Amino acid sequence: MTKLTMHASMCSSSGLNAEYMAGPVFRYKVDGMPPRGPETFIVNVNSGTPHEALWSIARGRDRTGEYKTAEDALVALQQEIDEVSVAQ
């Protein structure tokens, strides 16, 4: 089974330039996903209000779940991937 990881890909004060990450992160790229399918991100859907963060899993244009933290979203995604792997 593959262990998923995430790394910051956008924050509020640096936009797309990951070298200058300084503000609150509102999007993480998920690494370790199965090779087929769209890129997967964990995004804060309340990015304008980091103290009221609400995280979801984004695949292409689809968003699923509501999580209190990005880490909670990653755990849920890992469980989903593990279940699919076992079923195959």
Q: Kindly list the domain boundaries of the chain, sorted by start residue.
A: 5-87
Q: What are the per-10-residue average pLDDT scores of the chain (88 residues)?
A: 87 58 80 88 79 87 94 96 79
Residue 23 pLDDT: 67
What is the rounded CA–CA span in Å between residue 86 and residue 36?
Answer: 17
What is the rounded CA–CA span in Å between residue 87 and residue 15?
Answer: 39
Residue 16 pLDDT: 54
pTM: 0.81
Q: Regarding beta strands 40-44 and 5-11, do their DSSP bridges make them parallel or antiparallel, or are they unpaired?
A: unpaired
